[in-house]
Amino acid sequence: MISLALHEAAQARAGVDPATTAPAGKPPAKNCVIVWLTGGPATIDMWDLKPQAPAHIRGDFAAIDTKAAGVSICEHLPQLAKVMDRCVLVRSVSHTLADHAPGTELVATGHAPTPALVYPTLGALAGKLLPAATGVPPFMTVGEAPPGSSGFLGASASPLGILPADLTGQSRARIPVELPEKFSADDLARRDTLLRRLDAQFAALDNVGFNAELSALERQAVEILRSNKIRQALDISSEPDKGREAYGRGWPGQALLAARRLVESGVRVVTATISGWDTHNGNFAQLRTQLLPQLDRALAALVADLDARGLLDETVIYCAGEFGRTPIINAQAGRDHWPRAMSVFLSGGPLPRGAVHGTTDAQGMEPATGACTPADINATLLAALGVSRETSLNTPSGRPITAMGDGTPIEGFLTR
């Protein structure tokens, strides 16, 4: 709240009415695109630069102004600077798990790892709770090694995964659920009818929980097989050249273009995974030449494209990794793991626009104002998707678990 108020004051000094930068009375979003930066991005060199810090902290990059008054980001993110009036940065996320696997689990689920229970990711939760569309899975992942799992929600909440090879444009996407050649939809309908008859006859002999789980998966698979929506959405070669060029031809561009097409087809949640962010060595060279230019182009195109199609108001975009990186640059011109201070990028739905929440101290070591946890971020996003604080789900043993866990939506953050 403090940092948002300070931002509004800065906008007022610049002659900008803060009320014009945040949509008022917005309904909950219907969809969510999660852009997962595997390895832990150096957000101190992306979203929260420290130009006044000593050289061994501030690094090689300069800050540039953006279309959001008073908000600056890295010079190597010029396309995102042009759409920052439709985005919000949270610069004060903090946790304590500095290893990749536990850090990933914490940020992806909002819960620290525990042997007692495996928690579902934000994507699995949202896919389970949001109203499903016919003929498409509620939750999909695009790319290798998406974060986390469906946890105690079980197999029915697991995503349908698409690998990079399926989006090359060289051949038809190999969808994990599709009809064999020379097998028609009528053939499928006949076998589905037979299967339901057999299910009805043997239901009394089956384990009830397992049977219900299997039936849910069967119904979803049949609906997907009968529909052509996913196959069409994943055929990104059919996208006009202008659209493909806007996103870029590298993996980030392909992944986020596919995410937009999947959301358009009715998929509620898409996680797109972009790897390579574990920059212990040559942090600035990697960011300058490859990582930032590709992300800049793809993520800015996603924001602008969804907005142009009238989908940004109903789609939340969340870009993050498992932690930030050390303010102090190491001997290999890299930055190491640093969960105590990190930033995340958000856009869309009823979230603020052209704003910043939270600050870190002068050297980027830890939050100075507006400190929040990964659980708070996940709770904020669930609230933006219309999930109430009281919503809970049961574990296989019948134990109720609140969807937001220990997280609390950032106060005053939602504009509905």
Q: Is 117 exposed, middle or buried (0-12, 13-18, 19+ CB in 10 A)?
A: middle
Q: What backbone phi and psi angles, to 5 degrees, belong to 29?
A: -75, 155
- Tell me how far apart the alpha carbons of residues 38 and 58 are, in angstroms, rounded to a whole number: 23
pLDDT at 15 over 80: no
Tokens of 233: 């959405």
Query: How would you class 257 by CB atoms within 10 Å of its CB: exposed for 0-12, middle for 13-18, buried for 19 or more?
Result: buried
Q: Which two tokens stand for residue 75?
A: 């010079």
* pLDDT tens string 72-93: 999 999 999 999 999 999 999 9
CA-CA distance, 233 to 226, in Å (whole number)? 15
Helical pair 185-202 and 208-226, crossing angle rounded to 10 deg: 170
Q: How far is CA 65 from CA 70, 75, 76, in A?
A: 7, 9, 12
CA distance 139 to 266: 10
DSSP state of 327: S
Per-residue pLDDT band for 14 (boundaries 50, 70, 90) equals very low
Query: Strand, helix or coil at 243?
Result: helix
Task: Count CA within 13 A, CB hemisphere, residue 203.
Answer: 11
Give burial (CB, 10 Å; 0-12/13-18/19+) of 109: buried
Cβ-contact 316, 29 below 8 angstroms = yes
**Considering only CA atoms, which of 240, 233, 288 is closest in space to residue 255?**
233
Range 296-320 average pLDDT: 98
Residue 371, helix vs strand vs coil? coil
Domain boundaries, the chain: 2-173+235-402
**Residue in this structure with the two tokens 């390579």, named with its chain if needed:** 276
Rounded-to-integer distance, Cα 262 and Cα 234, Å: 7
Q: Which CATH architecture has domain 2-173+235-402?
A: 3-Layer(aba) Sandwich (3.40)
Task: Tell me, rounded to whole angstroms, the distance of Cα 382 from its chain centroid.
Answer: 12
Least confident of 94-98, 211-215, 387-391: 211-215
pLDDT at position 164? 87
Q: Tens digit of pLDDT for each residue in 20-48?
A: 233 456 899 999 999 999 999 999 999 99
- Percentage of the chain modeled with pLDDT above 70: 79
Q: Extract the tokens encoding 196.
A: 């339901």
pTM of the model: 0.85
For residue 23, how far is the Cα from the chain centroid? 21
- Looking at residue 376, its pLDDT comes to 98
pLDDT over threshold 70, residue 112: yes
Average pLDDT over residues 68-75: 97
Strands 342-347 and 324-325: unpaired
Question: Do 126 and 378 contact (CB within 8 A), yes or no?
Answer: no
**Residue 412 pLDDT grade (very low, low, confident, very high; cuts 50, 70, 90):** confident
Instruction: Identify which has the larger pLDDT, 87 or 169.
Output: 87
CA distance readout (Å), 98 to 65, 323, 379, 387? 31, 7, 22, 30
> Once rounded to an integer, what is the mean pLDDT over residues 166-171?
58
pLDDT bin (cut points 50, 70, 90) of residue 273 is very high
| pLDDT value of residue 413 | 84
Tokens of 382: 């669930």
pLDDT over 60 (residue 210): no
Distance CA 202, CA 220 (A): 20
Distances (CA, A) of 405 to 123, 139, 154, 212: 15, 21, 18, 26
Residue range 390-406: mean pLDDT, rounded: 95
- Please tell me the predicted confidence (pLDDT) of residue 26: 80
Residue-wise pLDDT for 361-383, tens only, equals: 999 999 999 999 999 999 999 99
Map tokens 């972009």 to a residue: 274
Mean pLDDT of 7-11: 41
Q: What is the mean pLDDT of the chain?
A: 86
Mean pLDDT, range 301-309, rounded to an integer: 98
Per this entry, what is the length of the chain? 416
Question: What is the CA angle 328-332-338, rounded to 5?
Answer: 35
**For residue 272, which of 262, 261, 259 has the smallest C-alpha distance?**
259
